[in-house]
A and B are shown apart, each in its own frame.
Chain A
Amino acid sequence: DVKVTQSSRYLVKRTGEKVFLECVQDMDHENMFWYRQDPGLGLRLIYFSYDVKMKEKGDIPEGYSVSREKKERFSLILESASTNQTSMYLCASSPGSVSGANVLTFGAGSRLTVL
């Protein structure tokens, strides 16, 4: 009964490669998020989308872009991966304009290693 699915659990990429991280939710949520999790730094928001084709920068958007062509799918793109982007990436979604709007449902995470 997984509701937020991240396509890759583990990825190993080389510096300079283009990386796509895919996330799909089946709860018809309006909001979707990409967070990065690093030890001692908690979860930091990279990008947020509140509707199809709409996006807002979070706290650490540099080096990342996103795409939301369909309501259920939110992709994180690293145009040219660098070693400092080695991290755990968590996708999340929330309902939006209804009760419980702020409650995040997280995916299992994608651990990216850039060599």
Chain B
Amino acid sequence: GENVEQHPSTLSVQEGDSAVIKCTYSDSASNYFPWYKQELGKRPQLIIDIRSNVGEKKDQRIAVTLNKTAKHFSLHITETQPEDSAVYFCAAEWGDYKLSFGAGTTVTVRA
């Protein structure tokens, strides 16, 4: 499958600051890059995704950027709030419909 690397593994930010998580992937044929959020004890849920024909996508306080040439994509969370504390996973599609996930980033928002 696809090799997806995600950094950092943990991230602690002050409430109101921004958080950035970065991922790289190996297969240049990948065209779909979602981000999932998993709150403690809950199932992962899609928060935003981007396809390769778009360089950036925003949804309120979250945004994702994609650089296909460099094979990396990033999640940006602005004005962080306590409810943003969770584990975030990036993923890249390979084959038909299959997703390979990064190892995850544990984000802690300090009040």
Contacts and interface: CB of A to CB of B under 8 A. Distances in A.
Pairing of A with B: yes
A59 interface: yes
B87 to A, nearest CB: 9
B89 A42 contact: yes
Interface string B68-87: 00000000000000000000
B103 A45 contact: no
A50 interface: yes
B99 interface: yes
What's the interface size class on B, roughly? 20 to 34
Nearest to A43: B101
Contacts of A102: 32, 34, 49, 93, 97, 99
Nearest to A102: B32
Nearest to A103: B46
Contact of A106 (B44, B93, B97): B44
A40 B101 contact: no
Contacts, number: 58
Given A48-B98, A101-B97, A41 B103 contact: yes
A90 B43 contact: yes
A94 interface: yes
Interface residues of A, number: 25
B108 interface: no
Interface in A95-110: 96, 101-104, 106-109
A31 interface: yes
A81 B103 CA distance: 24
B3 to A, nearest CB: 10
Interface of B: 1, 4, 6, 9, 32, 34, 36, 42-46, 49, 89, 93, 95-104
Given A56-B98, A102-B32, A108-B42, 13 more contacts: A31-B97, A41-B103, A42-B4, A42-B101, A42-B104, A43-B89, A50-B97, A56-B95, A90-B44, A94-B97, A102-B49, A108-B43, A109-B43
18 contacts: A35-B101, A40-B104, A41-B103, A42-B101, A42-B104, A43-B101, A44-B101, A45-B1, A45-B99, A56-B98, A102-B34, A102-B99, A103-B46, A104-B34, A104-B36, A106-B45, A107-B43, A108-B43
